[in-house]
Structure 1
């Protein structure tokens, strides 16, 4: 049994105090990891040749929050991608004022690095991703499908009750939408609306002729859980009617494993490329003192993603 298999079998955290984990397996043979840090003040990137090796890999600070104004507070949920030979980090950031600590005032931003190794070179700010509204927006992810690159993200529509819905749009370049987004899902089930009305943290995986988008719902305490959208790879991903939504959460609190509030996941591949790997965060205890956003103990877990005979992902 490999170290990676031991980690997944015992469900011990891979990394402590790293929420919203993103693992990207690159063609250079390395896994690249980034996540929200408890201080919410910077973006770190690390790499290793194995998933288990990420635990001991030395993090490099790619970017720090600005001292004031836009991008000065609450740096959340970075993702790293390599697109057309360049590296990009998508992240959300807020601004502080004399009367506001920036909470829930986020917008989405992009960094670019042209070095072959993103732990080296310079990260430059490409600016804010402008969407249909100037409103709370976060958790941008991107994927390519049949020659078109898409962005999927969470945002507050001023005309819809709740905190955030999921949207999809084609990209003109990694930081610019080519068209307005369309809504794929909004919080509607009981398990998506506990504490907050939230659909956020999308992640995309393709399997056996299907597209899947996992996402997270409810407040970030033990009620946090994951839902799933699916569509045929032959369907138009920009058509909301192409997508079917799970009526029940696909991953939720499991007290028997001491996993509380699992969510905000990513997907990657095993070292041999044969297995899909689920990466997610969770706490190991239920009761939280104060605001869950400032409890630092959301840890990174990894687990082999299994598939049913019908070709659907099994998260449990």
Structure 2
């Protein structure tokens, strides 16, 4: 693949990021029955942590009956894939390496936050990567596999998702709403005093934006600006006549937390004025359950069609050294509840559990 065009001189993107993340909507957004929220602090009927040492998790349930799992490996050098018939089964499922970073040039460093989506009868993986020689020039890239089984066939490098600027960008997720496919991602806007904001665009094809791109959210509240000024890792779920877009904010230590944007299902999603923003985090560290820095979530459903929240968190607050070098962000899952007003009830990150459901 050819090297991306060199970026023109721009304000420097704030340097060494404490590991960023990704999330993910699972293709078409079809409403399923809402479920009651688990009581705060009560262990969910799942094994937690579900997958150790895997951050930025993305789980999708496909029509073949399998759950597919991918996530950031702490070495930042490869894309991995698992599948299982149950969510708990992902914990012990065989893990395959389906792609490795390049030795030199583009996609040679910081392989972050992969998401796998099914679009037009093919598999696509969106992920962040940087050139081996410029490891902080991180951009969004796309792989494609035409084989029905993503563990087989050939993963073709479709190239970089080109946005309005050649700046720090990552955490792409794709979803459809009323027949239109969108891409949401995080990117640094030249001249803005932040690390990343959230952006949205319609798509021409699975690796090309149709444009224009619009900014949906920028870090503005104190809880979004601890350590770094970050909005990233978007994921979308459509329920109860609305679209809910979660995202993660602040540095990726115990300050990492999740925010929420909401739009009416009938609204023009490309008009930022149609998205409202929660003034407080909807999911954050919890001393009682011993979970810290929950974020970079996605949504899936259990075998009964009930909503499940997928995210990563650490089991301790204090980190020795740079959080980027700490490998212990583990994938976790729990029931996603719904309030009487139709909005999501995230509760708190559940405590570690050894209970298992068949």
Q: SS of 1:8's equivalent? A: coil
Q: Give the conservation status (yes or no) of the 8 Å contact 2:46–2:88.
A: no
Secondary structure of the structure 2 residue equivalent to 1:54: helix
1:209 is matched with: 241
- 2:69 aligns to what? 33
Cα distance in 1 for residues equivalent to 2:43 and 2:182: 33
Tell me whether 1:177 sits opposite 2:213 in the alignment.
Answer: no
Q: Residues 7 and 302 of structure 1 are in contact (CA less than 8 Å); yes or no, is this contact kept in structure 2?
A: no
Structure with more contact order per residue of length (Cα contacts < 8 Å, sep ≥ 6)? 2
Matched residue of 1:310: which SS? coil
Alignment-derived partner of residue 310 in structure 1: 341
- C-alpha distance in structure 2 between counterparts of 1:46 and 1:222, whole Å: 28
- Residue in 2 aligned with 1:74? 110
Alpha-carbon offset, residue 43 of structure 1: 0.1
- Aligned to 1:78, the other structure's residue is in SS state strand
Kindly indicate whether residue 265 of structure 2 is the aligned counterpart of residue 244 of structure 1.
no
Partner of 2:332: 301
Deviation at 1:11, TM superposition (A): 6.8
Structure-2 separation of matches of 1:241 and 1:95: 36
Match runs of 1:114-129 below 5 Å = 114-129=146-161
Runs of 4+ with deviation above 6 angstroms: none
SS in 2 for 1:311: coil
Structure 1 unaligned blocks of 5 or more: none
> Which one of the candidate residues 316, 321, 336 is aligned to 1:285?
316
2-structure distance, mates of 1:180, 1:62: 33
Aligned to 1:219: 251
Q: How many residues are matched?
A: 307
Q: TM-score normalised to the size of structure 2?
A: 0.84
Q: Distance between the aligned counterparts of 2:257 and 2:131, measured in 1? A: 28
Q: Paired residue for 1:86?
A: 122
Q: 1:155 aligns with which of 175, 187, 203?
A: 187
Residue pair 1:19, 1:35 contacting (<8 A) in 2 also: yes
Aligned to 2:17: none
C-alpha RMSD over aligned residues: 1.3
* Equivalent residue number for residue 307 of structure 2: 276
- Cα distance in 2 for partners of 1:65, 1:7 equals 37
List runs of 5+ in structure 2 lacking aligned partners: 1-37, 348-358
1:259 equivalent to 2:284? Answer no
* Aligned-residue offset at 1:115: 0.7
How far has the Cα of 1:60 moved from its partner?
Answer: 1.1
- The answer to whether the 8 Å contact 2:109/2:131 transfers is yes
Structure 2 CA distance for partners of 1:245 and 1:11, relative to 1, 3 Å: farther
